[in-house]
Amino acid sequence: MACPAAHPRLTLTLSLTLTQVSDLAVTAGDALVYDLNLNPVGEGTVTIQVPTNSISDVATNFNDAASNVLTFVFDTTNPTVAVSTPTASYTKHYPIEYVLVFSETMFSVTAADLTLTGGSTTDGDIVEDPANTFTVQITPDDEGVVEVSLLQDAVTDLALNGVEASATLSWTFDTTRPDVVLTLTLTLALTLTQVLTISVTEGQP
Ligand SMILES: [Ca+2]
Ligand SMILES: [Ca+2]
Protein backbone atom coordinates (compact mmCIF):
# COMPACT_ATOMS: atom_id res chain seq x y z
CA MET A 1 0.00 0.00 0.00
CA ALA A 2 1.31 3.38 -0.97
CA CYS A 3 2.19 5.77 1.77
CA PRO A 4 -0.19 8.70 2.15
CA ALA A 5 1.20 12.03 1.06
CA ALA A 6 0.06 13.89 4.14
CA HIS A 7 1.93 13.50 7.41
CA PRO A 8 0.17 11.22 9.84
CA ARG A 9 -0.30 12.38 13.38
CA LEU A 10 2.55 11.29 15.62
CA THR A 11 2.73 11.21 19.40
CA LEU A 12 5.82 10.09 21.31
CA THR A 13 6.10 8.98 24.91
CA LEU A 14 9.34 10.21 26.45
CA SER A 15 10.76 9.47 29.87
CA LEU A 16 12.60 12.77 30.16
CA THR A 17 11.61 16.37 29.62
CA LEU A 18 13.04 17.70 26.43
CA THR A 19 13.86 21.27 25.61
CA GLN A 20 13.18 20.61 21.99
CA VAL A 21 11.81 17.94 19.73
CA SER A 22 12.28 19.20 16.24
CA ASP A 23 11.33 17.48 13.06
CA LEU A 24 14.56 17.28 11.04
CA ALA A 25 13.18 15.57 8.01
CA VAL A 26 10.19 13.56 6.97
CA THR A 27 10.77 11.20 4.11
CA ALA A 28 7.76 9.80 2.33
CA GLY A 29 8.23 6.58 0.48
CA ASP A 30 7.04 3.07 0.98
CA ALA A 31 7.55 3.86 4.64
CA LEU A 32 7.18 7.26 6.25
CA VAL A 33 10.31 8.20 8.18
CA TYR A 34 10.53 10.85 10.85
CA ASP A 35 13.96 12.09 11.96
CA LEU A 36 13.65 13.87 15.28
CA ASN A 37 16.19 16.01 17.09
CA LEU A 38 15.89 15.24 20.80
CA ASN A 39 17.51 17.55 23.34
CA PRO A 40 17.29 16.28 26.92
CA VAL A 41 17.30 18.93 29.65
CA GLY A 42 19.48 16.83 31.94
CA GLU A 43 21.58 13.71 32.17
CA GLY A 44 19.96 10.36 32.56
CA THR A 45 18.26 7.53 30.77
CA VAL A 46 15.88 8.50 27.97
CA THR A 47 13.28 6.09 26.65
CA ILE A 48 11.15 6.70 23.60
CA GLN A 49 8.05 4.85 22.51
CA VAL A 50 5.10 5.40 20.20
CA PRO A 51 2.09 4.30 22.27
CA THR A 52 -1.07 2.62 21.05
CA ASN A 53 -3.48 4.76 19.02
CA SER A 54 -1.03 7.62 18.61
CA ILE A 55 -0.23 7.54 14.93
CA SER A 56 -2.68 7.42 12.06
CA ASP A 57 -2.78 7.35 8.35
CA VAL A 58 -4.84 9.89 6.38
CA ALA A 59 -7.83 7.56 6.63
CA THR A 60 -7.51 7.88 10.45
CA ASN A 61 -6.52 4.27 10.97
CA PHE A 62 -4.52 4.27 14.20
CA ASN A 63 -1.83 1.88 15.30
CA ASP A 64 -3.29 -0.78 17.54
CA ALA A 65 0.00 -1.74 19.16
CA ALA A 66 2.64 0.30 20.86
CA SER A 67 6.05 0.45 19.26
CA ASN A 68 9.20 -1.02 20.68
CA VAL A 69 10.99 1.10 23.30
CA LEU A 70 14.28 2.78 22.43
CA THR A 71 16.63 3.66 25.29
CA PHE A 72 19.77 5.76 25.46
CA VAL A 73 21.76 7.42 28.24
CA PHE A 74 22.46 11.13 27.97
CA ASP A 75 25.80 11.68 29.73
CA THR A 76 27.95 14.83 29.70
CA THR A 77 30.00 14.16 32.84
CA ASN A 78 33.72 13.48 32.45
CA PRO A 79 34.82 10.30 34.23
CA THR A 80 37.46 10.46 36.95
CA VAL A 81 39.98 7.84 37.98
CA ALA A 82 41.60 6.86 41.27
CA VAL A 83 44.92 5.01 41.12
CA SER A 84 46.38 2.55 43.59
CA THR A 85 48.94 3.95 45.98
CA PRO A 86 52.16 1.89 46.04
CA THR A 87 52.75 0.09 49.34
CA ALA A 88 56.43 1.07 48.98
CA SER A 89 58.25 3.41 46.66
CA TYR A 90 61.06 0.84 46.33
CA THR A 91 60.37 -2.63 45.06
CA LYS A 92 62.32 -5.67 43.91
CA HIS A 93 59.21 -7.47 42.67
CA TYR A 94 57.87 -7.42 39.15
CA PRO A 95 55.63 -7.11 37.30
CA ILE A 96 54.53 -4.01 39.17
CA GLU A 97 50.76 -3.85 39.65
CA TYR A 98 48.98 -0.62 38.77
CA VAL A 99 45.25 -0.38 39.52
CA LEU A 100 42.86 2.15 37.96
CA VAL A 101 39.38 2.59 39.45
CA PHE A 102 37.07 4.71 37.30
CA SER A 103 33.98 6.59 38.44
CA GLU A 104 31.87 4.95 35.75
CA THR A 105 31.91 2.36 32.99
CA MET A 106 34.65 3.03 30.46
CA PHE A 107 34.81 2.28 26.76
CA SER A 108 38.19 0.54 27.04
CA VAL A 109 41.70 0.90 28.41
CA THR A 110 44.65 -0.31 26.34
CA ALA A 111 48.41 -0.25 26.82
CA ALA A 112 48.66 2.61 24.32
CA ASP A 113 46.44 4.79 26.53
CA LEU A 114 48.96 4.82 29.40
CA THR A 115 51.89 7.23 29.67
CA LEU A 116 54.69 4.98 30.93
CA THR A 117 58.41 5.52 31.44
CA GLY A 118 60.96 2.98 32.66
CA GLY A 119 58.70 0.03 31.94
CA SER A 120 56.24 -1.49 29.52
CA THR A 121 52.92 -3.28 29.38
CA THR A 122 50.70 -4.87 26.76
CA ASP A 123 46.97 -5.13 26.19
CA GLY A 124 47.19 -8.69 27.50
CA ASP A 125 48.61 -7.37 30.77
CA ILE A 126 45.46 -5.32 31.44
CA VAL A 127 42.54 -7.04 33.17
CA GLU A 128 39.10 -5.42 33.63
CA ASP A 129 36.68 -6.41 36.34
CA PRO A 130 32.97 -5.49 36.53
CA ALA A 131 33.55 -2.67 39.06
CA ASN A 132 35.08 -0.27 36.53
CA THR A 133 38.52 -1.40 37.67
CA PHE A 134 41.48 -2.11 35.40
CA THR A 135 44.58 -3.87 36.76
CA VAL A 136 47.75 -3.31 34.75
CA GLN A 137 50.92 -5.42 35.06
CA ILE A 138 54.02 -3.34 34.30
CA THR A 139 57.39 -4.91 33.54
CA PRO A 140 60.37 -2.63 34.38
CA ASP A 141 62.86 -2.05 31.57
CA ASP A 142 65.76 -2.20 34.05
CA GLU A 143 66.55 -1.04 37.54
CA GLY A 144 65.52 2.55 38.14
CA VAL A 145 62.41 4.69 38.21
CA VAL A 146 59.17 3.39 36.72
CA GLU A 147 56.50 6.05 36.28
CA VAL A 148 52.95 5.76 34.99
CA SER A 149 49.94 8.03 34.55
CA LEU A 150 46.79 8.42 32.51
CA LEU A 151 46.61 11.73 30.69
CA GLN A 152 43.45 13.79 30.33
CA ASP A 153 41.16 12.44 27.58
CA ALA A 154 43.35 9.33 27.14
CA VAL A 155 40.24 7.17 27.51
CA THR A 156 36.50 7.85 27.48
CA ASP A 157 33.26 6.71 29.02
CA LEU A 158 30.57 5.07 26.90
CA ALA A 159 29.30 8.51 25.80
CA LEU A 160 32.85 9.45 24.72
CA ASN A 161 33.43 12.01 27.50
CA GLY A 162 37.19 12.20 28.14
CA VAL A 163 38.67 11.15 31.47
CA GLU A 164 40.18 13.63 33.91
CA ALA A 165 43.96 13.22 34.29
CA SER A 166 45.13 10.73 36.89
CA ALA A 167 47.79 11.19 39.53
CA THR A 168 51.29 10.05 38.49
CA LEU A 169 52.65 7.02 40.33
CA SER A 170 56.33 6.06 40.49
CA TRP A 171 58.39 3.24 41.92
CA THR A 172 62.13 2.59 42.08
CA PHE A 173 62.82 -0.91 40.83
CA ASP A 174 65.90 -2.18 42.71
CA THR A 175 67.22 -5.75 42.59
CA THR A 176 70.85 -4.99 43.60
CA ARG A 177 71.83 -6.52 46.94
CA PRO A 178 73.61 -4.25 49.44
CA ASP A 179 77.34 -4.84 50.18
CA VAL A 180 78.55 -5.28 53.77
CA VAL A 181 82.18 -4.60 54.90
CA LEU A 182 83.52 -5.22 58.41
CA THR A 183 86.45 -3.18 59.78
CA LEU A 184 88.11 -3.61 63.15
CA THR A 185 89.88 -0.76 64.89
CA LEU A 186 92.10 -1.26 67.94
CA THR A 187 92.47 1.65 70.30
CA LEU A 188 95.23 1.58 72.97
CA ALA A 189 94.18 3.61 75.95
CA LEU A 190 93.96 2.85 79.63
CA THR A 191 92.00 -0.14 78.50
CA LEU A 192 92.11 -1.86 75.19
CA THR A 193 89.02 -1.05 73.17
CA GLN A 194 87.95 -2.78 70.05
CA VAL A 195 85.62 -0.91 67.79
CA LEU A 196 83.75 -2.90 65.21
CA THR A 197 82.35 -0.89 62.36
CA ILE A 198 79.84 -2.40 59.98
CA SER A 199 79.56 -0.46 56.75
CA VAL A 200 76.66 -1.19 54.50
CA THR A 201 76.79 0.12 51.02
CA GLU A 202 73.37 0.06 49.46
CA GLY A 203 73.47 -1.09 45.93
CA GLN A 204 71.00 1.20 44.25
CA PRO A 205 70.23 1.38 40.63
CA1 LIG B 1 30.11 10.22 32.00
CA1 LIG C 1 69.46 -2.26 46.40
Give the ligand whose atoms come closest to the C-alpha of residue 144.
2
- What are the structural domain ranges in the chain? 13-74, 81-173
Give the ligand whose atoms come closest to the C-alpha of residue 43.
1
**Residue scoring higher pLDDT (60 or 119):** 119
Look up the pTM and report it. 0.70
Mean pLDDT estimate for the chain: 82
Give the CATH class of 81-173: mainly beta
Check residue 201 and give its pLDDT: 81
How many whole angstroms from 34 Cα to the centroid of ligand 1?
A: 29
Give the ligand whose atoms come closest to the C-alpha of residue 202.
2
| Tens digits of residue pLDDT in 13-56 | 655 544 445 555 555 555 566 667 777 778 988 888 878 887 77
How many whole angstroms from 203 Cα to the centroid of ligand 2?
A: 4
Residues with CB under 5 A from ligand 2 (ion): 174, 176, 203
What average pLDDT score do residues 96-100 get?
Answer: 93
How many whole angstroms from 168 Cα to the centroid of ligand 1?
A: 22
SS (H, E, C) the chain: CCCCCCCCCECCEECCCEEEEEEEEEECCCCCEEEEEEEECCCEEEEEECCCCCEECCCCCECCCCCCCEEEEECCCCCCEEECCCCCCEECCCCEEEEEEECCCECCCCHHHCEEECEECCHHHEEEECCCEEEEEEEECCCEEEEEECCCCCCEECCCCECCCCCCEEEEECCCCCEEEEEEEEEECCCEEEEEEEEEECCCC
How many whole angstroms from 204 Cα to the centroid of ligand 2?
A: 4
How many whole angstroms from 129 Cα to the centroid of ligand 1?
A: 18
How many whole angstroms from 63 Cα to the centroid of ligand 2?
A: 78
How many whole angstroms from 111 Cα to the centroid of ligand 1?
A: 22
Q: Which range (129-133, 146-150, 159-163) has the least confidence? A: 129-133
How many whole angstroms from 122 Cα to the centroid of ligand 2?
A: 27
* Structure confidence at residue 140 as a pLDDT band (50, 70, 90): very high
Give the ligand whose atoms come closest to the C-alpha of residue 205.
2
Give the ligand whose atoms come closest to the C-alpha of residue 74.
1
